[in-house]
Structures are given as structure tokens and as C-alpha cells.
Structure 1
């Protein structure tokens, strides 16, 4: 069973894939397994998409920071010129 032990713990796709639910003691009572596992597959897909977007945004952020640093360096006063 998955339990977030820390407030900032992130749920990853592999944790969702490995998630298994207990069966009830009285046979088929409780939630329909096929719906639970269909939902888990949808959650896995969402987590994969989220992680891909986040990685793309981090890469773009790093690229923009580098470009800004280069631009600022080209306009910064050089020591000894004044």
C-alpha cells in the first residue's frame, strides 16, 4: 500500500504500476477491480505526461538562464575599462 511518508513525497508511475489492492474477505464485495486498475493505468499515463512536461520546462528554464547570463555578461562593465 502506498503511503506518502513526507509531505513532499512525489508519486511516481512505477509506484502506481506496483499498487495492489486487498481483496475483501467475502468474495466480490467492494470496488470492481477492472475499474480500479483502469484508473491506475490512467494515473500512470498522467504521471508520465507530467514528468515529461516538467523535464521539458526544466530544460527550457536552464536554456533561458544561460542565454540571460550570456546577454548580461556582454553588457556588464569590464574591469579596467573605466
Structure 2
């Protein structure tokens, strides 16, 4: 019998659509983009740390709006 008390559930939500992305023991059940930015002296946000998460669907919608496309490289070895 597996002890469910040992498993920690981390709730992550997409900042754009609000969708819940659940992971168990830091294992992704669905992939997402995580961005953490520490703003510096030359910004209007000096001293602030911003963190966002985007689900794959919202990432696709967001990047389609870019003037310059995202650089995509294929991995030859997947772990």
C-alpha cells in the first residue's frame, strides 16, 4: 500500500488563462513555461522579482504575437 502522505502536490496555475497545472513530487504531468525575472537598477521595477507560469497553449498564443519568431532548435538526444 502506497503512503500518499509522502507525496507533495505542488499547484501551479497559468498566469494567462488560470488553468491549474499539477505536479507531484516535482514531476511535471504537463509542460509549462516558467519565467523568473529579478529587475535591476535601470528599470522602473528595481528590486522586484517577478515570476510567471504559462501553459503550452497560452505560450503558443503569446509567441504568435511576436514581431520576430521564437528560435526553435531540435534536440537530438532526449532524456
What TM-score comes out, normalization by structure 2 length? 0.19
**Greater C-alpha radius of gyration:** 1
Which protein, 1 or 2, shows the higher relative CO under an 8 Å CA cutoff with sep ≥ 6?
A: 1
Greater fraction of residues in helix: 1
TM-score with structure 1 setting the length: 0.18
- Which of the two has greater strand per residue? 2
